[in-house]
Amino acid sequence: MNSPYFSFNREPFSRELSPKEVFVSKGHRELLARLRHVIKTGSLAVITGQVGSGKSTAIRSVMQSLEASRYRYIYLASSQLSPAEFYKSLLYQVNIRPSRGFSENKRLVAQAMLELHQKGIKPVVVIDEAQELTVQMLSEFRFVLNYQADSFSPLMVVLAGQPQLAEILRLQVLECIRQRINVHYRLPCLGEDEIAAYILHHLKVAGLDKQIFTDAAVQLIYQFSKGIPRRINNICRYAIVAAVVADSPTIDADAVQKGLEDDELI
């Protein structure tokens, strides 16, 4: 992806970024602030956003910034996560061997979470793609967060998912869960005024300390990406290839258009 006009020391617009390398948009700053607050004070947070909006990346950034002596980060994928699998997964994460019985595993989880709390450690359980959770699994959080007659919860649960997660949580049968939500935030896509800064940020991360996308190219990228970071990354990667093939010193609207055509073939 190098040319005589620009070169990179790593793949540009890669998803493999460390928390310190992530572009912090206005929406991300708001999400980070809300997450840090609710982790300290609450028990249930719901974070939604479009596919590719960067919610998982932002959450991971917050989790990795937590003090290891005070918080225990537990990540769970939601695919086919039943209540039974949920409790088993939690036990494995805290190095406890699950039993064969559902009720016993439920008791073991409650005991393990309480013991961590007594040691001054708050478990933070993040469940990604939570829109895939069944109503039965979502209802189970009523018991997960219900300790000592609701006087406190020794753990924090973050449900992250696509916008339909919010629709699911509006079901009457989930009223008891909805009442326990301390923070519900929908991460917005990047604004038009943030696109150029986002692109330049990724170029710098890849070792190129200058803007190589023209204003017209940036405008076209926003038009077709709708401000979704993952979509921006894809368009930019293909546009760079198109510019290299054309031996162009910049990435203009024509390169972006060619990149869009290549992207549609995938």
Q: What pLDDT, on the 0 to 100 scale, is given for residue 266? A: 43
Q: What pLDDT, on the 0 to 100 scale, is given for residue 162? A: 94
Q: What is the pTM of this model?
A: 0.87
Torsion, Cα 163 264 231 188, to 10 degrees, reads -30
In order of their start, the domains of the chain are 26-186 (3.40.50.300), 192-262 (1.10.8.60)
- Tens-binned pLDDT, residue by residue, of the chain (266 aa): 567 778 888 989 988 888 788 898 999 889 988 988 888 887 899 999 999 888 888 888 888 888 888 999 999 986 678 999 999 999 999 999 999 899 999 999 989 988 998 899 989 999 999 999 999 999 998 888 876 545 567 889 999 999 999 999 999 999 989 988 999 999 999 999 999 999 999 999 999 999 999 999 999 999 999 999 999 999 999 999 999 999 999 999 999 998 788 666 44
d(CA 37, CA 83): 28
E-strand stretches of 144-255: 156-161, 183-187
Structure tokens at 227: 């401000």
Residue 196 backbone phi and psi in degrees, to 5: -60, -45
Check if the beta carbon of residue 116 is closer than 8 Å to that of residue 154.
yes
Check if the beta carbon of residue 232 is closer than 8 Å to that of residue 207.
no
Which residue type does 236 have? Answer: C
Nearest to 187 by CA among 24, 5, 6, 4: 24
E-strand stretches of the chain: 44-49, 71-77, 122-128, 156-161, 183-187
Q: What pLDDT, on the 0 to 100 scale, is given for residue 193? A: 96
